[in-house]
Structure 1
Amino acid sequence: MTRTRKWRIGVAIGAALALIGVAAPANAAPHPSTWRPFGISQVSVFHGVPAMPVDVYVNGLRVLNDFQPGTFAGPYLLPSGTYRLAITAADARNDRNPVIGPVTVSFARNTSYTVAAHLTPTGTPTASVFTNDLSVSPSGTGRLVVRHTAAAPAVDVLAGGTPVITGLTNPNEAALVLPAGTVNASVALAGTTAPVIGPAAVPVTAKTDTIVYAWGSASAGTLTVAVQTLRQGRLFDVPWMLHR
C-alpha cells in the first residue's frame, strides 16, 4: 500500500470518528495535528501559477500529482485542524525543495475553504487560503465572488461596462448577491474601462456561489479567469478522500 493511499484511508477513518465524537487512535490518521469532535472542513485547491505543473504535499505526503495550471481539485472533506502544505515541481521526488511553502494552514470546523496557489502582484509564486461563504442567499439569487490572484495591479470588475467592484487587489476578494441569470462581465485595471480580461458571459445560478479567479500575469500577457462553483448550504455532500 502506498504512503498516499495510507494517508487517504487515515483521513477517512479519522474524519468518521470525528463525526461521532470519538477520539481517533494515534495510528488511525496521524497527520492532522489536532482533532475536534464533529470537526469537519470542506477544502478545494486551485492552481493559478501559469506554465508550472505541480505536486501538492500535505504533511509530507503527496496528495495531488501533476496538478495543472487553471484547474481545481475538490471539494473534499477533511477533519478540521492544522496541516502543513508544500507545493513542488511536478517531477519532485519529495517536498524538500518546494516552489511554494511549506505553509501551515488551519481549517475550522463546519467551514469551506479554497487553497489557491497563485502569483503575488510582482509575480512570485505564493499560496492563499480563502474562506468560502456558503450561507444561502435570498430566493432567486446567487453569489458572485471575484478573487484577484494575478500578477497585476488593482482591478475593477465591470458588468455591462459599469464598474460594480472597484480597486480589488491581490490577494483579496469581493462578493455580490445577484438575481439568477447571466452577467456580461469584464476586468479592467483600476480606474479604467478597457478590459484586460473579457468581456465574458458569467452565469449566476440560484443558491450557488460562482467564484471567479483572475489569475496569470499582466506583464507576460497571460491574464485569464477560472471559475469554481459551490452549492450554498451543502458542506458535507462531497467525497472524503483526496485523489492523487
Structure 2
Amino acid sequence: MRTALAGAAALTVAALPLVVFATPAAAATDASVVVFHGVPGLTVDVYASADDTYTEEEALLTDFEPGTITEPVAIPEGTYNLAVFAKDANPSGDPAIEANDVTVPGGANITVAAHLNAEGTPVLTPFVNDVSKVDAGEGRLIVRHTAAAPAVDVLAGGEPVFENLTNPNEAKADLAAGTVSASVAAAGTTDPVIGPADVTVKEGSATIVYAWGSLEEDNLDVAVQTIDGLHSSPSGVPSGTADVGGSSLPLALGGIALAGALVAAGSAARARQVRA
C-alpha cells in the first residue's frame, strides 16, 4: 500500500504549477487535495519539470517543516512528473525519488497524511474524506491515528468512544454539534497520552483530528482539519480549514506540494499511480 500512496504525494507536487497560475472554479473532474505533514524532524525540497531535468529556479518550495496542514486546493485530473531532493541538495544530481506519469484522479476529496507508522518509519497514507451529508444539528467527528504509537482508545469525558484504533486507521461518528472534551490513551487504559483537549464539532462539517508524532520521542501532538458544506449538496468541491494545536494555519499553495513530497524523501518506496 505504501508504494501506491507515494503517488498521492507526487500528484500534489506536480500539479502545483497548474493551480498557481490559474484559479478557475472547481470542476466535477477536479480532485480536492489537502496534505497533512506529521513527520517530526524531516525537511525537504521539491522540484517539478516537464522534461525530468531540474534547476534551482524550478524549486516549488524549500525547507518545509513538519506540523502543518494545507488548505484544500482543486487539482485538475491529469498526469504529472516530479523529483524530490534532500534539503539543500543540488537538483542537478540524483533525486531521492522520482515520480513519473502520476495520475491525479478526478472528483475525489482526499487528505494525504505524511506521518510515522507504528514503528516510527515515515509513510504516506491518503484518506478519502467522508463528505456525505449529516443530519440537521449534527457534525461528523473523525479521529485518525497517524502517530508512532501502539493501538489507542479515544476518550470523551474519560470514557472510551473509539477503541483499539491502530495506525494508520480512522474512526468516525456523527454527533450533535458542540464541544467534546477528548483525550487519547493506550488501548484499554484511561491515562491520557494526548489531551484532554476541547474539540469543536461544527454543524454541517467534518472535524478531523490527527494524533501524530512519536510516543517514544515524547513529541505526540494533535492537528485538526475541518471540511465544511456537509449539511447540503455542495456546488463544488467542499471547502475546509486546517488547524494545528488549535491555531488557524492558512498556507500558500506550495505547501501542498512539499508536505506531500516529504515522505517520498523519507522512504524508499517508489511512487505509483493513486487509485481513489
TM range (shorter): 0.7 to 0.9
Structure 1 Cα separation of the partners of residues 39 and 145 of structure 2: 13
1:40 matches 2:41: no
Could you say if the C-alpha distance between residues 169 and 242 of structure 1 is closer, same or farther in structure 2, counting changes exceeding 3 Å? Answer: same
Q: Which has the higher contact order (CA 8 A, sep 6+)?
A: 2
1:13-92 equivalence runs, <5 A: 19=27, 38-56=28-46, 62-81=59-78, 88-92=85-89
1:37-186 equivalence runs, <5 A: 38-56=28-46, 62-81=59-78, 88-94=85-91, 96-98=95-97, 107-186=104-183
Q: Which amino acid aligns with 1:180?
A: A
How far residue 165 of structure 1 moved from its aligned partner, in angstroms, is 0.3
Q: Secondary structure at the match of 1:207?
A: coil
- Contact kept, 8 Å, 2:30 with 2:106, in 1: the verdict is yes
The count of corresponding residues between Structure 1 and Structure 2 is: 218
- Residues 188-244 of structure 1 show CA distances to partners (whole Å, capped at 9, x for unaligned) of 0111110000000011111111111100001111111111111134453769x9336
- Residues 109-160 of structure 1 show CA distances to partners (whole Å, capped at 9, x for unaligned) of 2221011111111111111111111122111111111111110001110000
Structure 1 Cα separation of the partners of residues 207 and 121 of structure 2: 27
- Contact kept, 8 Å, 1:64 with 1:243, in 2: the verdict is yes
How far residue 72 of structure 1 moved from its aligned partner, in angstroms, is 1.2
TM-score, normalized by length of structure 1?
0.76
How far residue 17 of structure 1 moved from its aligned partner, in angstroms, is 11
Q: Which amino acid aligns with 2:149?
A: A
- Contact kept, 8 Å, 2:142 with 2:206, in 1: the verdict is yes
Structure 2 Cα separation of the partners of residues 120 and 187 of structure 1: 17
Give the superposed CA RMSD. 3.2
What's 1:196 paired with? Answer: 193
Richer in helix (by share): 2
- Contact kept, 8 Å, 1:42 with 1:112, in 2: the verdict is yes
1:201-240 equivalence runs, <5 A: 201-233=198-230, 234=234, 235-236=236-237
